[in-house]
Amino acid sequence: MAQTKKDNREIIFDKDARDALLRGAKIMADTVGLSYGPKGRNVIVEKSYGRPMVSRDGVTLSKEIYSEIRDENMGMQLLNEAAEATVKNVGDGTTATVVLAHNLIEQAHLKIAAGVNPMEVKDTIIKDSYKLLDRIQELSKPVKKGQLEQVATVSSGDPGFGKLIAEAVEKVGSEGGIITQKSPIADVDRTDVEGYYIEPGYTALTSGKIELSDVYVVVSAKRITTGAEVIKLISKAVTGRYWAERGIKVGTPIQEPLNIFFYGEFDGDAYETINANVSQSKFLGAIVKSPLQGGDMSSQYLEDLAIYTGGRLITSADKLEELDYSCVGKADKARISGKEAILFDSGGSQEDIDQHIATLKGRIEKEEIDAIAEKLKERVSKLEGKIAVFRIGGANQTQQEEREFRIDDAIEATKAATKGGVVAGAGTSLVELSKCDVSELWINALRNTYKKLLQNAALEPEVKLNEVFNSKYPQGFNLRGEAELVDVIATGILDPTLVVTNIVKNAAATAGDAVSVGAVITFTDTEEQK
């Protein structure tokens, strides 16, 4: 179908539009799919400056893939969005998400070419995904002793890393904090530190990573929206604590910029004022939004942090002009990124923290609603400061980065296994899902995704797929080049249930969007741009 130009836009309709999205999706899946499975290969990525990046992490690669052909690029970015949804939810399984999404789109195109309405194809993809999600839950088993190490080993591809990661998750729990950082050492080690961890799910309003030492902590459940309110807090409460803890006269000039961590409800002009002062180096700091719990639960998390840092929660009943430095807490160090924030060595009274923990544990014993009890346990874990820090070394920065990608994924996979259980790994569960009463579209997409694992492992795809399909779950291959069927669960090859769930769910959502497209509208370059 001919392309119609409209001003600086180009409109592509129906089959041409879907074909363009499929071409982009295929390029994305072919590239990212090279890294799929234990025998997947690295991909080297040129950067705009400095050394290239080497990775076999799905979402890391998908973020780097673009095309100057705009309609194809939109297909690429649809798959990247699916990978980012998976990494956000469970931290692993991004490569499988990209490969499965592409296979679904490809199979859907065959159905549409045979005369099936695109919207009917989308409905089939989504409805069948629900059947598959139910089957995943039927296959799932709780984690047994020793299986966390197996999950971590499979995900990281290294038994040594697997042991360190499993020990860390067992120590801090699925809600505890585990962070990774590059260090000038030869290998990888782990240390356990005391600190308060604010996990993903909180919205960080800062970009990149920053570290603050000797940091003042302001925690507010009161919505602060004006620059004048922020200035009052800083000039009276924060500087008041600075003067008090040094025993110097109120009003004495401050010689160095203060480090301030704002946590809670800071919006509008208040947010802009904080950022403007930071950019002008009047003080150093960061803002992290309130926990996304909703209702009273959010203020309870805020109260926990205020107690932990030795401050007091600012509530809606407080008048800012009447606050003094007692509302300001303290921490020895804060590390903040877009994913998490961690406060180390709090200024709170251990007696107050212990008393607060005891109160929460008392509530846990009496709580009859499981969901609320879990939130209370999470709060206790944070207050107890369960954090593990992985120091990642290597022969060079490229090796450090590659290790960090693998370890980060394995940490998230192991946490997911703790929360949601495990299923058979090495793609075996995908083959089992293809036995469900679902459309041929899903059956072929699942099997083709498994074939990619076999290809990367240098195993004959059709022959080995049939062997697994005709055997009883959880029989499969360990994908390290061995050609004999094994019980993959007994062998220790496991996938977290939540990871497989997200692979199916996010691939289905993206494929449904792609195949139901009736037109693609892109920008066009002017003659000067060309």
Q: Does the pLDDT at position 118 exceed 60? A: yes
Q: Quick one: three-class SS letters along 457-475?
A: CCCCHHHHHHHHHCCCCCE
Amino acid at 166: A
**Residue with more model confidence, 284 or 135:** 135
Rg of the chain over CA atoms, in angstroms?
A: 26
Q: Does the pLDDT at position 3 exceed 70? A: no
Q: What is the pLDDT of residue 135?
A: 97
Q: How many residues does the chain have?
A: 530
Domains of the chain listed by start with CATH number? 10-141+424-523 (1.10.560.10), 147-194+389-420 (3.30.260.10), 198-348 (3.50.7.10)
Q: Does the pLDDT at position 371 exceed 80? A: no
Residue 184, CA atoms < 13 Å, CB-side half-sphere = 0
At how many degrees (to 10) do helices 147-156 and 397-420 cross? 140
330 forms beta bridges with 216
User: Which band of pLDDT confidence, cut at 50, 70 and 90, is reported for residue 142?
Assistant: very high
Residue 162 — left, alpha, or beta (φ > 0 → left; ψ -120 to 50 → alpha)? alpha
pLDDT tens column, 252-268: 888 788 999 998 888 88
Torsion of CA 307, 308, 311, 317, to 10 degrees: -40
Q: Does the pLDDT at position 236 exceed 70? A: yes
User: Which band of pLDDT confidence, cut at 50, 70 and 90, is reported for residue 203?
Assistant: low
Q: What is the pLDDT of residue 113?
A: 94
Q: Does the pLDDT at position 202 exceed 50? A: no
Q: What is the pLDDT of residue 201?
A: 43
**323, 236 in Cβ contact below 8 A?**
yes
Phi, psi dihedral angles at 310 (to 5 degrees): 80, 20
The percentage of residues in the chain with a pLDDT greater than 70, rounded to a whole number, is: 93
Tokens representing residue 343 in the block: 């406060």
Q: Does the pLDDT at position 387 exceed 80? A: no
Q: Does the pLDDT at position 206 exceed 60? A: no
pLDDT tens column, 329-358: 999 998 887 667 888 888 888 999 999 999
**304, 383 in Cβ contact below 8 A?**
yes
- What are the start-end ranges of the H helices in 350-495? 350-366, 370-383, 397-420, 428-433, 440-456, 461-469, 488-491
